């Protein structure tokens, strides 16, 4: 086994002569590309088919339940594919050594079952490979975020009383049986029974029950003790040192924290504050810490906002996460884009954010938005966003994220129209290379969806209002007289981003079959009748700003002719 085995062996002083990379972009300027390391690309010299058609993805269901062979080197060699899409950051699934390494047919290909926090999983590559990847990304102006798994380890031990032990709600603990391997877990500071809650698995009905959801095991993964006790604080210090080590060694730019609801507020706060201070010590600004919080907006206050105080007993805690993944939007937006959910639900989602924004300042703008991911939580039958969906809807869904409030995150393969579906996670985790053909991958820059997303990201990069502007949903009218919010489908869904007297208008026809030509309200303080808005994306020419026909109504609007599922941006 290579690498350090104890946090006592770590040198966390800056690397001699190293100038750590720092970027001045704000979080809301990033466009994140999230990939599973095992599924993006291996280290073979493959080429894509040169076609505008969408890809099916690689791997049979049986292959996709195991390691497919993706490598860090494969990502490095194809960072141009991510950068040319217009993404400014790449979020890597967990890369640290997982269960079963180095056996290529065993263990957790997804990375969320860590057994060694101080070594890269050899199935993905080496520490040197990670350093090379980050250096190459930085040369392209791309940030690199690592996925942090601090709530639990892999299945590193058995319980004495049996392999399957359900949560004990009598405040008792199970006795640890045997460690699964004599050399793990690493660091060795985690090789003590008191480092784990040892309460057994969270019961199927109790994922939102506190304290069970924070003390119980995440299925077979063993929950770490991060309580406010000497033993829990020692565990947290070991985790903090371990992840600081990767910032020091590889110049990492941010962390996505897994399962923060299960960690609890206090350890998340302590972890984030310690990591943020260390990044500043190295000269790294804007170190981005965002979390997976599968919950509603009411939970955001408890986790997000480094300047948001709250009381826990006689202590005031300042929470450390910069942001969280916007699950409420994920549960709403896809249905609106596809015409299944009324537009009012989307508007209500933003109304709910107003109080959050007021409480957390501009952090109300910083939620990480997505329409597709590797879990599709809430679905019993898993389906990627592009499943049973035409190209235009995929383009509009991703385009909405890129133009709306928040930090957009694109799940790998969505830009190729991957449309996996099935009864297990493996169906939505296709490979971007073909395990059965060593010459073929699916990183096709000629794919129509890829090219259209790249055009929209280019508009985002050139229009400050789409990154920093206020956002307003717009009223519409079918007759140019009676205006109101869209109430159902089909409709023209429209919103504006406004920044310092500049308005950028975004609109989408939700109909899959019929063209529409609706009037859309624009800002009366920024325009005059007779002004013209030009297409930045999705159309050609200009549209005229018109006055309302009622002289007592001072509203201004534009009439937008839209083909079915047409997505446009105008200024």
- In order along its 571 residues, the chain shows pLDDT tens digits of 678 999 999 999 999 999 999 998 988 899 999 999 999 999 999 999 889 999 889 999 999 999 999 999 999 999 999 999 999 999 999 999 998 766 666 679 999 999 999 999 999 999 999 999 999 999 999 999 999 999 999 999 999 987 789 999 998 999 999 999 999 999 999 999 999 999 999 999 999 999 999 999 999 999 999 998 999 999 999 999 999 999 999 999 999 999 999 998 889 989 999 999 999 999 999 899 999 988 877 777 777 765 555 566 676 666 678 899 999 999 999 999 999 999 999 999 988 877 665 444 454 567 999 999 999 988 889 999 999 999 999 999 999 999 999 999 999 999 999 999 999 999 999 999 999 999 999 999 999 999 999 999 999 999 999 999 999 999 999 999 999 999 999 999 999 999 999 999 999 999 999 999 999 999 999 999 999 999 999 999 999 999 999 999 999 999 999 999 999 999 9
**232-to-223, 268, 272, 276, 505 alpha-carbon distances in Å:** 11, 13, 16, 20, 51
Count of H-run helices and E-run strands, the chain = 15, 29
Query: Which pLDDT score, from 0 to 100, does residue 310 have?
Result: 59
Domain ranges of the chain: 31-464, 465-570
Instruction: For residues 70 and 89, give the distance between their C-alpha atoms in angstroms, rounded to a whole number.
Output: 19
pLDDT score recorded for residue 302? 73
CA distance 465 to 457: 13
Burial class from Cβ neighbours inside 10 Å (0-12, 13-18, 19+) for residue 565 reads buried
Query: Residue 385 is encoded by which pair of tokens?
Result: 């966003």
Q: Give the CA distances from residue 198 to residues 269, 291, 292, in Å, rounded to whole numbers and listed in that order.
A: 23, 24, 23
DSSP SS3 for 376: coil
Alpha-carbon distance values, 104 to 63, 69, 180, 283, 559 (Å): 12, 8, 18, 38, 58
- The two tokens of residue 513 are 């079959």
CATH domain 31-464 topology: TIM Barrel (3.20.20)
- The total of other beta-carbon atoms located within 10 Å of residue 396's CB is 26
251 by Cβ neighbours in 10 Å (0-12 / 13-18 / 19+) ranks as buried
Place of tokens 């600081």: 244
What is the separation of C-alpha 184 from the centre of its chain, rounded to a whole number of angstroms? Answer: 30
Superfamily of domain 465-570: Golgi alpha-mannosidase II (2.60.40.1180)
SS3 for 520? strand
Q: Which of 111, 117, 93, 107 is nearest to 184 (CA)?
A: 117
Cα(244)–Cα(73) distance, integer angstroms: 23
- 507 touches 473 (CB < 8 A): no
Element (H, E) at 348: helix 343-360
- List, as one string, the DSSP characters of 106-133: SS-TTS-SEEEEEEE-TTT--HHHHHHH
**β-pairing verdict for 440-441 and 47-48:** parallel
CA dist 151 and 405 (Å) reads 29
- Can you tell me the distance from the alpha carbon of 333 to that of 149, in angstroms, rounded to the nearest whole number? 28
198 phi-psi bin (left φ>0, alpha ψ -120 to 50, beta other): left
pLDDT of res. 307 = 55
Query: Tokens 């709250």 — which residue?
Result: 310
* Cα 368 to Cα 81, 335, 372, 474, distances in angstroms: 22, 19, 12, 23
Pairing between β-strand 516-522 and β-strand 476-477 as defined by DSSP bridges: antiparallel
d(CA 390, CA 398): 13
Question: What is the distance between the alpha carbons of residues 242 and 29, in angstroms, rounded to a whole number?
Answer: 29
pLDDT at 303: 78
Q: What CA–CA distance (Å, rounded) separates 175 from 544?
A: 74
The per-residue DSSP string of 310-329 comes to EEETTEEEE--BSEEB-HHH
pTM of the model: 0.96
The secondary structure of residue 202, as a DSSP letter, is P
């Amino acid at each position: 086994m290579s690498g350090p085995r104890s946090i006592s062996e770590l040198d966390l002083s800056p690397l001699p002569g190293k100038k750590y990379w720092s970027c001045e972009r704000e979080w809301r300027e990033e466009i994140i590309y999230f990939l599973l390391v095992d599924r993006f690309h291996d280290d073979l010299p493959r080429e894509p088919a040169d076609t505008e058609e969408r890809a099916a993805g690689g791997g049979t269901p049986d292959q996709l339940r195991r390691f497919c062979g993706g490598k860090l080197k494969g990502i490095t060699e194809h960072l141009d594919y991510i950068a040319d899409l217009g993404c400014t950051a790449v979020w890597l699934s967990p890369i640290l050594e997982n269960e079963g390494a180095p056996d290529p047919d065993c263990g957790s290909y997804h990375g969320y079952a860590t057994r060694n926090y101080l070594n890269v999983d050899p199935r993905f590559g080496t520490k040197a490979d990670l350093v090379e990847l980050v250096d190459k990304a930085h040369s392209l102006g791309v940030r690199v975020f690592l996925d942090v798994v601090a709530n639990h380890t892999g299945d590193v031990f058995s319980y004495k009383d049996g392999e399957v032990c359900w949560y004990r709600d009598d405040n008792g603990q199970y006795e640890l049986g045997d460690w699964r391997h004599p050399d793990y877990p690493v660091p060795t500071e985690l090789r003590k029974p008191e480092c784990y809650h040892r309460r057994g698995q969270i019961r199927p009905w109790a994922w939102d029950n506190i304290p069970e959801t924070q003390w119980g095991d995440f299925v077979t993964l063993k929950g770490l003790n991060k309580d406010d006790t000497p033993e829990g604080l020692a565990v947290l210090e070991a985790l903090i040192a371990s992840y600081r080590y990767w910032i020091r060694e590889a110049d990492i730019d941010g962390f996505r924290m897994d399962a923060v609801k299960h960690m609890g507020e206090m350890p998340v706060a302590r972890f984030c504050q310690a990591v943020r201070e260390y990044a500043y010590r190295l000269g790294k600004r804007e170190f981005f810490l965002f979390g997976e919080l599968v919950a509603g907006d009411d939970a955001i206050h408890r986790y997000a906002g480094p300047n948001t105080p709250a009381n826990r007993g006689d202590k005031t805690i300042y929470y450390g996460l910069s942001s969280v993944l916007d699950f409420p939007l994920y549960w709403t937006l896809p249905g609106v884009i596809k015409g299944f959910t009324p537009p009012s639900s989307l508007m209500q989602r933003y109304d709910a954010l107003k109080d959050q924004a007021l409480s957390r300042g501009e952090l109300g703008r910083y939620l990480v938005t997505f329409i597709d991911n590797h879990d599709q939580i809430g679905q019993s039958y898993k389906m990627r966003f592009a499943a049973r969906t035409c190209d235009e809807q995929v383009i509009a869904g991703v385009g909405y994220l890129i133009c709306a409030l928040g930090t957009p995150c694109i799940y790998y393969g969505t830009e190729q129209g991957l449309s996996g579906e099935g009864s297990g996670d493996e169906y939505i985790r296709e490979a971007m290379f073909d395990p059965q053909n060593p010459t073929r991958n699916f990183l096709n820059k000629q794919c129509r969806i890829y090219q259209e997303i790249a055009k929209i990201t280019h508009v985002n990069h050139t229009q400050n209002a789409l990154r920093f502007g206020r956002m307003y949903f717009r009223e519409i009218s079918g007759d140019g007289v009676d205006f109101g919010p869209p109430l159902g489908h089909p409709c023209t869904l429209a919103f504006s981003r406004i920044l310092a007297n500049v308005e950028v208008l975004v609109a989408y026809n939700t109909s899959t079959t019929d063209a529409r030509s609706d009037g859309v309200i624009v800002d009366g303080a920024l325009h005059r009748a007779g002004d013209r808005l030009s297409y930045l994306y999705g159309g050609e020419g200009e549209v005229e700003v018109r006055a309302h026909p009622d002289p007592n109504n001072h509203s201004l609007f534009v009439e937008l002719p839209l083909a079915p599922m047409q997505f446009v941006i105008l200024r």
